[in-house]
Structure 1
Amino acid sequence: MADASAPLPLALSLGDPAGIGPEIILRSYLQLKHGAQPFFVTGGAHVLAAAEEHCGIGCPVVVISDPAEALAAFTDGLPVMKGPAGDPRYTPGAPNDEGAALALHSLAEAVRCAIASTAAAIVTAPVSKAGLGRVGFEYPGQTEFLAEVCGLDPEDAVMMLAGPSLRTVPLTVHVALAAVPALLSPELIVHKARIVAAALKRDFGLAAPRLAIAGLNPHSGEDGQFGDEEARFIAPAIAALQTEGFDVIGPIPGDALFTPRMRATYDAALCMYHDQALIPIKALEFDEGVNVTLGLPIIRTSPDHGTAFDIAGKGLADPGAMIAAIRLAGTMAAARADA
């Protein structure tokens, strides 16, 4: 019988089985099996066993039928939930529809466990958006899927990239750069800033979060010479947030926001578009960057990199970001439990 006082395990989704997901999950277990919060994988036992043999990782796979079994099984090997019969063959670097279907099943099962409170949090391995699209996944990304499953509007789920020394939030995500100015508004900025501040308190233990908000244009518009979005949208949003009592600064030019001295003045930087937020994280903390979804009733983290089909199965994949994602999920779960 499971110990009622023990923390719930974390649920890991497999990701695309043709990518580096299976390898980095297996290698993460080997580094975290002593002292870390136990976790289990939602499906793909045969794929994981094949990946372990192919890459010579030396990680036993233990099949379980219920998340409650993960705590006891974790000392013996990587616990993996039974999935649909007939896992696809392990084909590293060669994605196919069968593998994408397994990735989608694993993602949905991990979310189900978190919503049912049989898992403390979910950690999602990298997926192929194109592959998921071929098997009926109709969302721009996993973040939008999670919002709908949790009964939220997509704007209520906020992507944050977190590393040891930097946290960034893209206010617009998977859209063309040319579309960004039309999507910005004071209401959008204020809404997402509130979600970020609340999550930094609830999940990261920051009593008084400090937010920095980036400008959109070079030199934050240079008093209108290079664009007026700062004056029309960004500055009014900052003023509104300050009136509500939030500790917010900006708009700060993008070329100054991520200097070492500037990074010491805030806990999270809100950026106007995808690359403005992701480039600094990937440049500074690629192997430890974690994608966190804020604003959900469940906890979700993910390594901040893709499937890397080109190196899958070659023993080159670094598990650092997956390890960081697992550790952060456990830390966030503990913060919520103590709240």
Structure 2
Amino acid sequence: MTSLKNDRLLRALTRQPTDVTPVWMMRQAGRYLPEYRASRARAGDFMSLCQNPDAACEVTLQPLQRYPQLDAAILFSDILTIPDAMGLGLYFEAGEGPRFKRPISSRADIEALPVPDVEQALGYVMQAVRQIRKELNGRAPLIGFSGSPWTLATYMVEGGSSRDFRKIKTMLYNEPETLHALLDKLSQSVTDYLNGQIKAGAQVVQIFDSWGGALSSAAFAEFSLAYLKRIAAGLIRENEGRQVPLILFTKGGGLWLEDLAETGADALGLDWTCDIGRARARVGHQVALQGNMDPAVLYAKPAVIRAEVARILAAYGQGAGHVFNLGHGITPDIDPSHVAAFFEAVHELSAR
């Protein structure tokens, strides 16, 4: 493999010094970019784009071509590739988001689910990872990712996005053993999937626990945290002679930072409701921290964006272990020039 020309992200995630604070952005390859919209129009629909390794490689690299400050590429894919590979019939409805033709409603449904073979059922993802690594040619590290077992289960039981999580919470409280059977199968699938990405060339992996914050503290410990620990213990943590860091991002998980820091992850992603300085005081040197600007700041004038970057850098304070990011994914209607102002501000202000 080609040697890495920019290893800031890997250094920061393992709490080593860097010349500037590294920066990347959740959903950095997305609809705010006109070049992405053109690629998606050519592909026909979102899943066709995800399942074509050439197209996935192309859109993964688009933000790096536009923004030289970026310190990482993140695989262009979707968190729902695993349930799709399990045969649930993923599709996307205009204005409604992801849907499943065959949602999970019983123990029998769960027992019928396969644990996907990553090179067969998810081979298009592995091929995309290999192509992206080749095209990056060492310019920056590649981040692979998956949804968490709890987050995947919410979509699989609800049949799509949900505001109240009524179906899965009914299962959680009435039939906890049924939900554990699903989470057990998903934790094995996520472990296999991330290890497959690492073998294919991903140099960092992130788990998106997007709906962890919808749980009570007791339910989070039992139905999400326990499975995150299991995955962390089962991952390949060294490849190509370097550590492969694991980032956990639980949206709404600020209450549980100390517990998340004990999972075996190298870094925790923070949403924008957390004060990053207080978070650092709580977890100490146990983990690096990633985040955590409110994505809505990118609607503001460049001077305002710059001031908010400065505030977050100051709140984190001196020392290693900070990766600058948004507190959630960028929204589609952001001006790309505001994104440039954001990235420029992170490098320029952190260098001081």
Query: TM-score if structure 2 supplies the norm length?
Result: 0.31
Larger radius of gyration: 1
Q: Which structure's residues are more often helix, by fraction?
A: 2
Query: TM-score if structure 1 supplies the norm length?
Result: 0.31
